[in-house]
Amino acid sequence: MNNDKFERTSHVVLTSHSNQIFKESLPINWGAKTAKERGPVVATISEKENRNAIGSHSGSYTVYRALSIANGDFPKDHRPELFNTHSPVTIKPQDSWFDPDKMVAIDPWGACVQEMYTDYLKEGYNIKPTIAVTQARLHIPEIFEAIKNGRLKVDGDIVADDGSVKVTKVAFEPVWYLPGIAKRLGIKEGELRKILFNETGGMFPELVTRPDLKVLLPPIGSTTAYVFGDINKLSDPSVELTCRVHDECNGSDVFGSDICTCRPYLTYGIEQATKTAQEGGVGFIAYYRKEGRALGEVTKFLVYNARKRQEGGDSAETYFKRTECVAGVEDARFQEFMPDILQWFGIKKIHNLHSMSNMKYDAIVKSGIEVVNRLSIPDELIPADAQVEMEAKKAAGYFTQGDIKDGAALKEVVGRKLEE
């Protein structure tokens, strides 16, 4: 490749990296028909002059990398050795990759930088993947129980002899195309940049000093997709697809806390996704890091205390009100970006959506994906203390296949008090 192509005029600007000289950045043509036309996202800081994105890789883990460098354990000039790191399965580009409105929160080409940007890598550009694909086996107690009770069978393929479930895992780092993000939210790009700059304490000056940089790698958590069955069947609307889009709840998902239905709903979704894959379809679980409705775990625990200390105890009637009193809003997740992960796989039709959230359903349908069946969590899987959450959500308009309580009946749904 001709070196002249990469000659740029240098100029000094206010940036989030000290003593940095920017050259005119490599253009990013979001939504272009090929990876080379689109151009690489360069968010590494080993050669700061080559950067064409705001922020850096690894999201919220960037601080740990900084501490490792400060401690002398991590070389500042490290370049990843990408040999043998490629996907074990072939991921086919989808039409949605070329639509600038379908994906604004991830880089569609983020899994194949080794193949698509070889020339740039040879020229010295430090380009890192933002998507990685691997394979795994899930060992989940609830799945073992489903096998024991005959709801699932061991087939030696999807479900191994030891009861583990074969999956393909795909990890996504967020990559925000700021004009698309602003359009999705219905605001001007300049206003979005100013708010992001102010509300992160001025973390990224380029948001207000470099309008030519259109891509931000925000310091937030990543997303993981778990695929049960043939990953390339996801884009075939004639193949039955069972899907759960799940927002992180560490207390329930990992530790089994019974104040909410998160783990039961997640494991039930995994069971149904596995079953669908065994029947020739495909299952899909998307796991988003949006702890506590994207309000964080500290806020969530404060809300728990407020709910359980209020007069009359933890009540379904005041479930959402207590969150709003503490956090200022009932929910900060903004599900408008959630379907981007589904679009990456080319999903056009979900036959079985395991979610009661109208916000999620509306965002999925608005993105152009058809939903055939919506499925709520079975009553027998709801923990006793989680009845407050469940009845409050149903009364607030969440989708349900069961009865909805209101008025006096809703007031009677109460949970445990704190043991003080």
| Active-site residue list | 331, 333
Query: Which residues, 6+ apart, have CB-to-CB distance to 101 below 8 Å?
Result: 31, 180, 183
Query: Which residues, 6+ apart, have CB-to-CB distance to 396 below 8 Å?
Result: 320
User: Residue 93 has what DSSP assignment?
Assistant: P
3-state class percentages of the chain: helix first, strand second, coil last, to nearest 5:
40, 15, 45
Report which secondary-structure segment, H or E, holds 156: none
CA distance 174 to 59: 7
What does the angle CA 381 – CA 382 – CA 386 come to, to the nearest 5 degrees?
Answer: 160
CA distance 213 to 179: 10
* Dihedral angle, C-alpha 372, 378, 382, 386, nearest 10 °: 40
Instruction: Report the amino acid identity of residue 370.
Output: E
Instruction: Report the amino acid identity of residue 6.
Output: F
Strand, coil or helix: 14 = coil
